[in-house]
Amino acid sequence: MKKNWTTRVAVALLALTMITSCFVGSTFAKYVTRAEGEDNARVAKWGILLGMEGDDMFAPEYEADDESFTGSDDNDDPILSVRVDPDYDGDITDLVAPGTTNDGFKATIVGKPEVAVRYTLHIDPDWSDVVLPAGEYTDFTKLVKKGNEQSADDPEYGYYDTFTLDEDYAPVKWDIKVSKNGGTPIGLVEYAFAFNEQLALAMGMTRDGVSATNAANIVKTYSTQLANLLLSMLNDQGEAGASNAVFTVADDGTIDLSIDFDPNRSLDFEFSLAWKWPFEQGEKIEENPDIYEFDAADTWLGNFVAYKEFGECEDYAEEFDAAEQNGAAYTIGFKFTATATQID
Amino acid sequence: MANSKKRRNWLLPTTLILFILSVITLSLMAVVTYAWRSEDPTHLLTFENEKLTWDENTEVGENGVAHLSFFNTYYQNVNSENGDNVFAPGTEQDTLIRLKNNSDDEITYTAIAWTIKECDILELTGDFRAEGATPTNNYEGLLPPNVTPDDLLGVGAVTGTVSAKGIQDFDIGWEWIFERGDEVEPGIYESDFPDTYLGNKAAWDTADDSTIGFAIIVEGETPVPTPPTGQGSMIYWGIGLVAVAGIIFVAELIFYRRQKKKEEQEEA
């Protein structure tokens, strides 16, 4: 019996294995089952508003700063020290002159978009600046006695002295000011001097600002430093999320400033352009009366306009015409465009 | 005695063979083959016990509709202010839904994906792909009440089969192309105007939204086991068979060795 049970069990196992391996269910039931899912989203916010004011960047008249000047008409209020000639019938009635200043141009950006934004200020290539190129010019500040180099026909006293400019002179200086949420504006020039005076001087900045002509050259050479300064100014105003500031000057003279802002940043910035023609520029070279380094250049430019727009100072027409051929200019103007573009 | 010894000599190899056969049978019962894509799915829908079940990370509402992740709150250079899912020009997303057939039988599915946009000028385009599936016009019962055939993505409804323990992937994607149409000015495209309108509307009025959905029906047949003892799977029979065969084989081996030793001692 003992020997038989193992054999029987082995046979039974074999049968079971064969049955199991070919076992197939012989009855089926049909089923149907369903599943569904969905998701929903909305358009991300844009909502950027741009503003620009600049019609009164320059003016036909300016108030006097010198309180000792009272004007001839007691009824004048305010007292003007610069005023366009009422008989002038030319096209350009807005003026700039030594001592004048304005910060009338403002560009604003407001909004809190949910996408990254690139804000760009663009200056068209046909901008112009008041410039007196490097060279030698008649010094109209000094009426001197005729010297040996003058001819016998020349008057005994005349404008026989000259002055020399070693480099181009652009008297009107600019500064970019930035404010957030209507706060106190910070000027780029002041910020640059406070950050690193040596770098600011190396870039060609003066404490009065930077001329448009020099700005173009500064941007070409120091675009990275300028951009970093501007970014610091923006981010110091609190969570601006500003990055990738880029200054560029194209070959055709187009100037662009672009700044990127992160998504979800409260954008409420005002960029203002302030200009001034300092009354006294450069070093004081004489005293009593005080004469400054660029007084002669400013005076020359004033007579240049008198010749070009009013036909005056014709005795020096040859010099004025030659200077104009060489790049001397007495008009200043810009066309700005501001854009805000989503960054992909 | 001689006959007994002869039977004993073949019994050991016989039980060994039976043991091996039972192991093979068990492996045939238990073999599971999956063909996986290297990409992890966003959502996993498992078919098992005649039911479709979403993975544990997928929320299902009380109405049975799952909350899927077709959109996001942030993309490169886009970030929702309040945690809402958003989309914007330049954004896109692809979502992979995987159907896994955990049953022992082949199943048949029919699936659709759709998009509903609140605003006609919203240029959100979508696509629906299922490799190996074929288009079908028979999707009765799949369309939710507010969805029309014009809202379907890709080729529309698709159908196919999934073998036991097999998978089927469904790719659903959308995009809002950044610049579309002609360049009307340097850097300005035709599409910038309606896109800006929609963005400003989202900021100053009510944002337009879009819904993307997915639905699937699975059909199949389930075998009724014989005899109806209540066991749900033959796998346990296989395991039992292996265990018994193994025990028999080991017992026979021990007995065989003892017998041989005894015979050797007797001969000595």
Chain A environment of B211 (Cβ under 8 Å): 38-40
Low-confidence residues of chain B: pLDDT under 50: 32-36, 228-231
ipTM score above 0.85? no
Mean pLDDT comparison of A36-45, A98-107, A275-284, highest-scoring range:
A36-45
Tokens 């082995």, residue? A10
Q: How many CA atoms lie within 13 A of B221 on its CB side?
A: 8
CA torsion B51-B52-B54-B59 (nearest 10°) is: -80
pLDDT digits (tens, 9 = 90+) for A213-256: 888 888 888 888 888 888 988 888 777 789 999 988 888 888 89
3-state secondary structure of A222: helix
Whether pLDDT at A6 is above 60: yes
Q: Looking at residue B251, what is its pLDDT?
A: 86
Residue numbers in A near B238 (CB within 8 A): 20
Q: Is A48 exposed, middle or buried (0-12, 13-18, 19+ CB in 10 A)?
A: buried
Digit-coded pLDDT (tens) for A70-114: 777 766 678 888 888 888 888 888 999 999 998 878 899 999 999
The whole-angstrom distance between A7's CA and the closest CA on chain B is 7
pLDDT at A25 over 60: no
Residue A110 has what pLDDT? Answer: 95
Percent of chain A with pLDDT over 90: 42
Tell me the shortest Cα–Cα distance from B40 to chain A, in angstroms: 18
Question: What's the CA gap between A144 and A157, in Å, rounded?
Answer: 5
* Over residues A260-275, mean pLDDT: 92
Identify all chain A residues contacting B94, using CB atoms and an 8 Å cutoff.
none
Q: What is the model's pTM? A: 0.75
Residue A28 has pLDDT above 70, yes or no: no
Token digits for A88?
């002038």
For testing the chain B interface, which of A11, A22, A23, A43 should be mutated: the one with the most B CBs within 10 Å?
A43
Residues 160-179 of B with CB under 8 A from A: 178
Per-residue pLDDT tens digits for B80-134: 999 999 999 999 999 999 999 999 999 999 999 999 999 989 999 999 999 999 9
Reported as a single tens digit per residue, the pLDDT across A281-331 is 888 887 778 888 899 999 999 999 999 999 999 999 999 999 999 999 999
pLDDT the model gives residue A233: 87
Residue bearing the bigger pLDDT, A187 or B238:
A187
Residue of A nearest to B71 (CA): A41
Per-residue confidence (pLDDT) for residue A76, from 0 to 100: 63
Contact A45 B78 (CB under 8 A): no
- For residue A7, pLDDT beyond 50: yes
Q: Tell me: the pLDDT tens digits for A189-225?
A: 999 999 999 988 888 888 989 888 888 888 888 888 8
Instruction: Look at A30 and B221 and tell me if their CB atoms are within 8 Å.
Output: yes
| pLDDT of A134 above 90 | yes
Inter-chain contact A7–B11, Cβ cutoff 8 Å?
yes
Which of A20, A25, A45 is the closest to B237 by Cβ? A20
Q: Which of B71, B81, B90 sits opposite A45 (nearest CB)?
A: B81
Given a contact cutoff of 8 angstroms between Cβ atoms, the answer to whether B113 and B58 are in contact is: no
CA A5, CA A3: separation in Å to the nearest integer? Answer: 6
